[in-house]
Structure 1
Amino acid sequence: MNLNIYYIQKKIDTNERLENKYIKLISQFAKININNIFSKQIAKAHEIGINEAKAEYTKAYSQYKKNYSIALSENGKNINSFEFANLLKDKNEINFFIGGAYGFNDEFLNSCDYVVSLSKLTFSHELARILLLEQIYRGICINKNHPYHK
């Protein structure tokens, strides 16, 4: 399985140690790529306004929308870890998208196969990635009957 996580973050201030822990654990079962796609166009759009920024996020992400796509949004569906694990089943490649500073526009969310909420709370990109990585690992473990989930 190939897993791709795409996010938009101007300043990279990540907790590499914890992020790398989950990347290493997941790598036992799947190939994982994490991609920051912040660009000059996104920076310019931020200066113009919210709608322009969301439109630029959609444009930037569109080239990566292939195979099964899951967007993370606070307005997405609240699911438990077993339901999340089911999203991972029988997929060759999954693309996860974390919104930019202003989230996603409806056009992008409607074009995804699934929209999930990690919580009703809003998280920084750094924390959202770590939570997503942990849930991916947990989901893989659930699907493989690995004892991590217990």
Structure 2
Amino acid sequence: MNITIISVGKIKEKFLRNGIKEYSKRLSKYCKLKFIEVNDEKAPENLSEAEMEIVKDKEGERILNKLKENTYAIALEIKGKELTSEDFADKLDKLALSGRSDITFIIGGSLGLSKEVLDKCNFKLSFSKLTFPHQLMKLILLEQIYRSFRIIRNEPYHK
């Protein structure tokens, strides 16, 4: 399986980079992993709704320029569908069994994803109704992908 993660912004914190490196290493026996980071748009704290949409559109354009046509795109979106770890594993397994072995996860910037990006995605996934920093979300996503492969292969993993 080929998994690409497109995310907005660079990971600045060393502890997050170390966690991402660790899970990337663990995942190397299950899939081919690729990271694509696009630049985030500078945005002051007090943006109007219209200005927020402009920021999301600019970041969205950068994301769409990196999104391959034949991939199964999954947006990480707070309004998306919440799944258990077992359901997430089942989804990945069914995608692979149906020949969809090229999957791209998309993590937006601090304001979320543009409508154009969301419209291009095959599935919208929510990890929680809580809001997480987008840099931390990459690490959480990798852990859940790793957990999914362990579940799919009936390998032990803490619950």
Query: Counterpart of 1:97?
Result: 106
Query: Counterpart of 1:6?
Result: 6
- Please report how far the alpha carbon of residue 149 of structure 1 lies from its aligned counterpart in structure 2 after TM superposition: 5.2
Question: Structure 1-normalised TM-score?
Answer: 0.87
Aligned AA (1:7): S
Unaligned runs of 5+ in 2: none
Query: Counterpart of 1:145?
Result: 154
- Please report how far the alpha carbon of residue 18 of structure 1 lies from its aligned counterpart in structure 2 after TM superposition: 1.6
- Please report how far the alpha carbon of residue 110 of structure 1 lies from its aligned counterpart in structure 2 after TM superposition: 2.1
* Residues matched between the structures, number: 146
- Residues 1-150 of structure 1: matches in 2 within 5 Å? 1-9=1-9, 12-14=12-14, 15-38=16-39, 42-43=41-42, 46=43, 49-66=51-68, 67-89=71-93, 90=96, 91-148=100-157
Question: Structure 2-normalised TM-score?
Answer: 0.83
- Please report how far the alpha carbon of residue 65 of structure 1 lies from its aligned counterpart in structure 2 after TM superposition: 2.4
- Are the aligned partners of 1:142 and 1:149 in contact in 2 as well (CA < 8 Å)? no
Distance 1:11 1:142 in 2: 28
SS at match of 2:157: helix
- Please report how far the alpha carbon of residue 105 of structure 1 lies from its aligned counterpart in structure 2 after TM superposition: 2.4
- Please report how far the alpha carbon of residue 50 of structure 1 lies from its aligned counterpart in structure 2 after TM superposition: 0.6
Cα distance change, pair 121–6 in 1 and its aligned pair in 2 (3 A): same
Unaligned runs of 5+ in 1: none
Distance 1:37 1:72 in 2: 16
Distance 2:115 2:88 in 1: 22
Distance 1:140 1:101 in 2: 29
> Among the aligned pairs, what percent are the same residue?
34
